[in-house]
């Protein structure tokens, strides 16, 4: 059931853990970046769904940085949470950490932001609740989410001004 769109809600981290198998690897033996993006997208979608209790669809991927390769055999942790909300849209921070199964060494391999839109039962954009910020970290992530939103709007305005072929 959808939540009240006027009552502020917190967004907790959604965490998914998996193992990287050979069929996830590219020709140099590291995980396909596209598969990492897919895992981030699914995880972020769940964060949105839990936040607003609506089906949410990906509107765009915003800056996503691949910092280090993920190796076959690594334990992969994807965590996401809503960090900024508009009227119908949500910006989600997503982080990917790889862990060596033998040493326990953990490293941030990928992080970025994804933009989602909540849909009503007819498939049209619908309001989402305000975001409750409970900690300094959440306020920091919210400020970055606001910057991501502003950069996205500027990019879209620039792209719409370009001549079409």
Tens of pLDDT, residue by residue over 38-82, are 999 999 999 999 999 999 999 999 989 999 999 999 999 999 999
Give backbone dihedrals phi and psi of 15, rounded to 5 degrees, phi first.
Answer: -120, 130
Give how far the C-alpha of residue 157 lies from the chain's centroid of Cα atoms, to the nearest Å: 23
Residue 7 lies in a domain: no
User: Hey, CA dihedral for 151, 153, 156, 160, is it positive or negative?
Assistant: negative
Q: What distance, in Å, lies between the first and last C-alpha atoms of the chain?
A: 45
Provide the pLDDT for residue 1: 62
> CATH number for the domain including 90?
3.10.129.10
Show the domain range for 51.
14-160
Residue 90 lies in a domain: yes
Count Cα atoms within 13 angstroms, Cβ side, for 63.
12
Residue 164 above 80 pLDDT? no
Q: What's the number of domains the chain is made of?
A: 1
């Amino acid at each position: 059931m959808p939540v009240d769109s006027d009552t502020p809600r917190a967004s907790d981290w959604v965490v998914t853990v998996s193992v990287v198998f050979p069929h996830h690897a590219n020709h140099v033996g590291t995980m396909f970046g596209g598969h990492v993006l897919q895992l981030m997208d699914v995880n972020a979608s769940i964060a949105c769904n839990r936040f607003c209790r609506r089906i949410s669809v990906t509107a765009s991927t915003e800056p996503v940085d691949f910092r280090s390769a993920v190796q076959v055999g690594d334990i992969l942790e994807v965590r996401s949470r809503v960090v900024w909300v508009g009227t119908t849209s949500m910006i989600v921070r997503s982080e990917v950490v790889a862990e060596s199964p033998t040493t326990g060494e953990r490293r941030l391999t990928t992080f970025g932001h994804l933009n989602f839109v909540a849909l009503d039962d007819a498939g049209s954009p619908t309001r989402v609740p305000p975001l409750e910020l409970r900690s300094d970290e959440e306020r920091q992530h919210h400020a970055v989410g606001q910057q991501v939103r502003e950069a996205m709007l500027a990019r879209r305005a620039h792209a719409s001004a370009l001549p079409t072929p």
